[in-house]
């Protein structure tokens, strides 16, 4: 009786999902943070637990729902611009956070620049405007 009730409730939920074209955005986003293989193992593991706990009808309906979820996880969500943008922003933020933290903690320092090949000695350069003695010396 309990299995039939759970299976019918899950079937109604699945029918509503198909009719409304709802995509589980927040759930898929959370699952995709662990990666598509881990999300697949988790979803299929939940179905296996239902069969193990002696809920075969609920397991069958959850299996149908998991096929829909896995199709969505492996096709639409990995290519979404929202996920790509979120990952790029997180990667950039992590990079800047680490360098800012390192400079703040004084664990990252940079040496002052040095010339690898020093130039040949050169005559003293004139400074503008020249001193009156230098101008008198040059112009006579």
Q: Would residue 74 count as lying in a domain?
A: yes
Tell me how many helices (H) and strands (E) the chain has: 6, 0
Do residues 56 and 3 lie in contact, with contact meaning Cβ atoms separated by under 8 Å? Answer: yes
Model confidence pTM above 0.85: no
pLDDT (tens digit, 9 = 90+) per residue, 64-116?
888 888 887 787 666 666 777 878 888 888 777 777 777 777 777 777 778 88
| Average pLDDT for 43-55 | 85
Which pLDDT does position 22 carry in this prediction?
A: 65
Q: Would residue 106 count as lying in a domain?
A: no
Give the rounded percent of residues in the chain with a pLDDT score beyond 70. Answer: 84
Both structure tokens of 19: 């009719």
Please give, one letter per residue, the 3-state secondary structure of 89-114: HHHHHHHHHHHHHHHHCCCCCCCCCC
- If you compute the radius of gyration of the chain from its CA atoms, what whole number of angstroms results? 34
Q: Would residue 46 count as lying in a domain?
A: yes
Number of domains in the chain: 1
d(CA 135, CA 129): 9
d(CA 100, CA 13): 48
Structural domain for 10, as ranges: 2-79
Sign of CA dihedral 52, 28, 65, 75: negative
Q: Would residue 98 count as lying in a domain?
A: no
Task: Give 130's pLDDT tier (boundaries 50, 70, 90).
Answer: confident
Q: Would residue 104 count as lying in a domain?
A: no
Both structure tokens of 63: 């299996």
d(CA 62, CA 98): 43
Q: Would residue 12 count as lying in a domain?
A: yes
Which pLDDT does position 79 carry in this prediction?
A: 64
């Amino acid at each position: 009786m309990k299995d039939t009730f759970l299976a019918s409730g899950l079937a109604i939920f699945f029918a509503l999902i198909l009719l409304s074209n709802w995509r589980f955005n927040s759930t898929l986003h959370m699952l995709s943070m662990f990666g598509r293989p881990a999300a697949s193992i988790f979803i299929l593991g939940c179905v296996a637990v239902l069969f193990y706990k002696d809920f075969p009808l609920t397991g069958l309906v959850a299996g149908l729902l998991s096929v829909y979820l896995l199709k969505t996880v492996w096709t639409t969500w990995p290519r979404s611009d929202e996920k790509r943008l979120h990952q790029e922003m997180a990667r950039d933020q992590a990079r800047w956070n680490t360098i800012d933290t390192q400079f703040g903690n004084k664990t990252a320092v940079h040496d002052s620049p040095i010339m690898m090949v020093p130039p040949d000695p050169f005559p003293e350069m004139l400074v503008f405007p020249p001193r009156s003695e230098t101008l008198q010396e040059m112009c006579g």
